[in-house]
Amino acid sequence: MQTSAAAQPASLEFIRRLIAFPTVSRESNLELIEFARAHLAAAGAVTRLTYDDERRKANLFASLGPAGDGGIVLSGHTDVVPVDRQAWTSDPFALRECDGRLYGRGSADMKSFVAIVLAFAPEFARRPLKQPLHIALSYDEEVGCIGVGRLIADLDNAGIRPAACIVGEPTQMRPVIAHKGKLSYRCTVRGLSCHSAYAPQGVNAVEAAAEAIAFLKGMARRYRDRGPYDRGFDVAHTTVHTGVIRGGTALNIVPNECVFDFEFRNLPGDDPEAMYAEFRNHIATVIEPEMRAVDPACGFSISPLSAMPALSNAPEAAIVGLAQELSGNHEFGKVSFGTEAAHFQRRGIPAVVCGPGSIAQAHKADEYVEIG
């Protein structure tokens, strides 16, 4: 699975076909899944599907070779991020080859890996495999790794127990042995409206939200300044980030609602649940009492948006050695973004991340993967 495999004609045609499916997370991926399922079934794979509640999206799990426990999972997601309001210079869903690069939405993240796996599946099937080779394709990775949970639960229910998993996110074929975890939340602040001339009679939801966000910023500074640190990561400490805020309708009205979204991205050794508990305790003991002294109905409501566990492997782990052997790259790294590998690891399936392309090109206009 060298990066240059993408340049081979069979792989190139599969990349072209996959990019032509506009599988933005808000849309169905069923056409792509059926295309992949039919191709793998024709190669002799045993396939199984799991669906979302509306049956608009599906995961595909396919197995080549002998039945039984063990074997390797080659895993990728089928959804891509939107192209809305991005300045593409060509159709993002029509592959364009230029100067040693393949341009298109998903070319880096991560349809090239999926295409290479599909292109080589018939060759795998012709070999006398001693253990099964599994292929896992999921939905809705980009919006919180939603699909992979159902896929793995189905494997548990079916008694399918792979020995290891390689998730082909873009790492420039350098095995990634660890990544950060993430917990994200939506916080709704309920205040009490009144005319701004009588502001002390109301409860300003925007100001209460600002106090909470300032506390989060203080937590972020603490991790930045005091650690703990892991210098293997490009961002060596846990981070705290507020990314969205909405509140208020007019300057002369004390706002009665403010909504903001925030996240913790934790090193494998840090506990994001403890971080959330610290934040929630500050709200309950410092911010809400002042609000409820004016109106007991005021306060904070916090709901989870997404959760991704951290990934952590010892450098000497067998799965790391396997990824190094297969990739031909004996280095390894750690990354700050999350992947589905951690979900496989949490279910007892050793997992690493290794695939063609660079994460630096993902999610951008004119996304590309280099070939050759």
Are residues 82 and 174 both part of a single domain? yes
Q: Are residues 189 and 252 in the same domain?
A: yes
Considering the domain architecture, whether residues 11 and 73 belong to the same structural domain is answered as yes
- Local confidence band at 6 (pLDDT 50, 70, 90 cut-offs): very low
Residues 185 and 173 in one domain: no
Are 131 and 23 in a shared domain?
yes
DSSP helix/strand/coil, 283: helix
For 331-367, write each residue's pLDDT tens digit: 999 999 999 999 999 999 999 999 999 999 999 999 9
The CATH code of the domain that includes 268 is 3.30.70.360
What is the spatial distance between Cα 38 and Cα 333, in angstroms, rounded to a whole number? Answer: 36
What pLDDT score was predicted for residue 125? 95
Domain boundary among 262, 287, 308: 308
Instruction: Indicate the residue among 308, 329, 345 that finishes a domain.
Output: 308
In tens, the pLDDT along 288-340 reads 999 999 999 999 999 999 999 999 999 999 999 999 999 999 999 999 999 99
% residues pLDDT > 70 (the chain): 97
What pLDDT sits at residue 9? 61
The confidence score (pLDDT) of residue 3 equals 42
pTM: 0.89
Mark whether 93 and 240 lie in a shared domain.
no
pLDDT, tens digit, 9 for 90 and up, residues 253-273: 999 999 999 999 999 999 999
Helices (H), 227-370: 272-282, 288-294, 318-327, 341-346
Query: For the residues 119-127, what does the mean pLDDT come to?
Result: 95
Same domain as 109, residue 8: yes
Lowest mean pLDDT among 1-15, 24-38, 161-175: 1-15
List the CATH number of the domain containing 324: 3.40.630.10
Judged against a pLDDT cut of 50, whether residue 1 lies above it is answered with no
Residue 68 lies in domain: 3-178+311-370
Question: 203 with 281, same domain?
Answer: yes
Q: Contact at 8 Å (CB) between 372 and 343?
A: no
* pLDDT, mean of residues 50-76: 97
- 59 and 161 assigned to the same domain: yes
List, by residue number, the catalytic residues. 79, 141
The answer to whether residues 97 and 227 belong to one domain is no
Q: Identify which has the larger pLDDT, 284 or 7.
A: 284
Tokens of 313: 């492997």
For residues 323 and 352, membership in a common domain is answered with yes
Number of compact structural domains in the chain:
2
Is 14 exposed, middle or buried, given 0-12, 13-18 or 19+ CB atoms closer than 10 A?
buried
Same domain, 247 and 141: no
- Final residue belonging to a domain, choices 308, 331, 354: 308
pLDDT in tens, 191-213: 999 999 999 999 999 999 999 99
- Residue 42 pLDDT > 80: yes
pLDDT at 164: 98
Two tokens at 257?
A: 């609602």
